[in-house]
Amino acid sequence: MDFEYTPSEENFRQEVRQFLDENLPAAGNRSADFMDTWLNKVRDKRWVGFSWPTSVGGGGGSIMEQVILKEEMSARKAPPLGTCMMGLAWVGPGIIQYGTEQQKQRFIPDILDSKYHWCTGYSEPNVGSDLAALQCKASRDGDDYVINGTKIWTSLAPFASWIFMLVRTENFGKTENKHDGITALLVDLSTQGIEIKPIENMAGQKVFAQIFFDNVRVPMENRLGDEGNGWAVTISSLANERSSIGEVTGLYTKLEKLTDLLSNSRWNGQAAIDSKKNRRTLARFEAKIEAMRLNGLRYLTQQIKGEPLSSETSVNKLHRAELEVEMGDFAVETLGQAGLQLRGQEAVVGTGYWAADSLNWPTVVIGGGTPNIQKNIIAERILNLPKD
């Protein structure tokens, strides 16, 4: 057991720190046009797509260097390394693994430059957690696929130009072998026949959308991987889980905010932070977040050693889901009537922030696979208990 870094890793950390010292103003001091130069600079450092092979324009960073880069960036609350989030997280790695040379040349540079947004289309109405039950259909017509159907809960779709999506090209309406006959397509969202209908969430934000496909023609060359092999493409893409380092830093930041809130709130003549119940709740959050951090490092070590990883990421997903729900709700409860205010009511600590936070958890909790699904994964894959 050893939490030290190699000299070359330490050098890399110094390089990152120095870069941040020189190029990243403190969180409150970032000007409106800061992001443009920032993105150019990190792109020049090849820190965008840092884990990708250098042959496609990535950084070729080792696992530990990726960890160090994330740690330093999140510690300074740096903006993301590129705005094309879905492209960098999911689509790019899929294209690198399964794409043709032509697809790589066409899409990867744009993703690295964050030229436009990507979104990913898995869910459909009436499908829910059972992704493989998808029914959005594509049939061959000459050199094109013709898509008919709909995708829903597509995150960032209202802002995206392209979608990575799964369609069914065989096995329609069957419940057996439903994983067969799924094909992955890359689709330009400006194609005729596509309608994007934003979905407003309960916090009033429009980040998700339902997308309707009416005889949408997609050239064959936009298929990713073999026809009928889309499930494998997806699994490998979903398996490309990011470590939870960024999330942990975010949760620690939220814990600080929450501690400040408790320290500045009074109830019934007593400071909220003096209540043993509240103190214990905060400390329990801390233990969970620290456990997430250390679980992440432990699993990372296994990954570096090349040991097989089963579904351990579900452990941190469950923690995060609980923390996202509980921390926001605890804050709102502590703020009392003031916690309910969406805006207005001056002189109230934290107004608006926590109200929105306490309504925004489903994006994380449900979006990442419901807690019930995560528990099934652990029980079935790790503990070898029977399937439902």
Partner 1 sequence: MNFGFTQEQELLRVQVRRFLDDNCTLAEVRRIMETSQGYDQVQWRRMADLGWLGLIIDTEFDGVGLNWVDLVVILEEMGRSLYPAPYLSTMLFCSALNDVADGPTKKAILPGIARGEIKGSLALFDQPGDPHIDNISLEADDTSDGLFLQGSKPFVHDCGSVNYYLVAYRQAGSLYLVLLDADDEGLKQSHSPTMDLTKRTGSLSLDNIEISNAARFAVDEKQLQRLFDVGAVGIAAEMIGAAESVLAMTTKYAQDRTQFGHAIGKYQGVKHRLAEMYVDIESFKSLVYYAAWTITESQEELARSASLAKAYASDAFATIGIDGVQLHGAIGFTQEYDIQLFLKRSKWSRANYGNADFHYEKIIKQRLSQ
Stretch of 34-42, 274-282, 317-325, 335-343 contacting a copy of itself, by CB under 8 A: 274-282
CB nearer a copy of itself, residue 150 or residue 281: 281
CB 169 within 8 A of CB 181: yes
In whole angstroms, the minimum distance from the beta carbon of 276 to a copy of itself comes to 4
Quick one: which H or E segment has residue 83? none
Is residue 243 involved in binding a copy of itself (CB under 8 A)?
Answer: no
130 or 214, CB closer to a copy of itself?
130
Residue 9 contact, options partner 1, a copy of itself, none, Cβ 5-8 Å cut-off depending on partner type:
partner 1
**Quick one: what does residue 370 bind among a copy of itself, partner 1, none, with the CB cut-off 5 to 8 Å set by partner type?**
partner 1
Sign, CA torsion 239/292/296/384: negative
- Considering the complex, what minimum distance in angstroms separates the CB of residue 25 from partner 1? 25
The minimum distance between CB 263 and a copy of itself, in angstroms, equals 16
Q: Are 120 and 105 in contact (CB under 8 A)?
A: no
Q: Is 305 in the site for a copy of itself (CB under 8 A)?
A: no
Per partner kind, with CB cut-offs from 5 to 8 A, the member of partner 1, a copy of itself, none near residue 273 is partner 1
Contacts of 118 (CB under 8 A, 6+ apart): 84, 86, 87, 90, 91, 111, 156, 160, 161, 162, 163, 164
Q: How far is the CB of 359 from partner 1 (least distance, A)?
A: 7
CB neighbour burial string for 367-382, b if at least 16 within 10 angstroms, e if fewer: ebbebeebebbbbeee
Taking the complex as a whole, the smallest distance from the CB of residue 129 to partner 1 amounts, in Å, to 6
Unique residue bearing structure tokens 């190699």? 6
The candidate with the shortest Cα–Cα distance to 219, out of 146, 110, 148, 161, is 146
Residue 215, by phi and psi: left (phi above 0), alpha (psi -120 to 50) or beta?
left
Q: Is 54 exposed, middle or buried (0-12, 13-18, 19+ CB in 10 A)?
A: exposed
Which option in a copy of itself, partner 1, none does residue 283 bind, with CB closer than 5 to 8 A by kind? Answer: partner 1
275 binds a copy of itself (CB under 8 A): yes
Q: Which is nearer to partner 1, 226 or 290 (CB)?
A: 290
Q: In terms of CB distance, is 27 or 283 closer to partner 1?
A: 283
Please pick, from the candidates 210, 278, 314, 358, the single residue that binds a copy of itself as defined by CB under 8 A.
Answer: 278
Residue 115 interaction partner, one of a copy of itself, partner 1, none, beta carbon < 5-8 Å per kind? none
* Residue 218 CB, nearest approach to partner 1 (Å): 26
Q: Which of 270, 272, 275 is nearest to 332 (CA)?
A: 272
For residues 220 and 145, is the Cβ–Cβ distance under 8 A? Answer: yes
309 binds, among a copy of itself, partner 1, none (CB under 5 to 8 A by kind): none
- What's the token pair of residue 236? 């490998």
DSSP state of 178: T
**Pairing mode of beta strands 144-155, 208-219:** antiparallel
Distance, CA of 207 to CA of 372 (rounded, Å): 24
Minimum distance, C-beta of residue 137 to partner 1, in the bound complex (Å): 20
Burial of 251 (0-12, 13-18, 19+ CB in 10 A): buried
- Residue closer to partner 1 (CB basis): 129 or 139: 129
Nearest to partner 1 of 102, 337 (CB atom) = 337
The CB-of-335 to partner 1 minimum distance in angstroms stands at: 7
At closest approach, how far in Å is the CB of 257 from partner 1?
Answer: 13
Q: Does residue 280 bind a copy of itself (CB under 8 A)?
A: yes
- Nearer residue to partner 1 within complex by CB, 189 or 273: 273
| Residues found near a copy of itself in the complex (CB under 8 A) | 275-278, 280
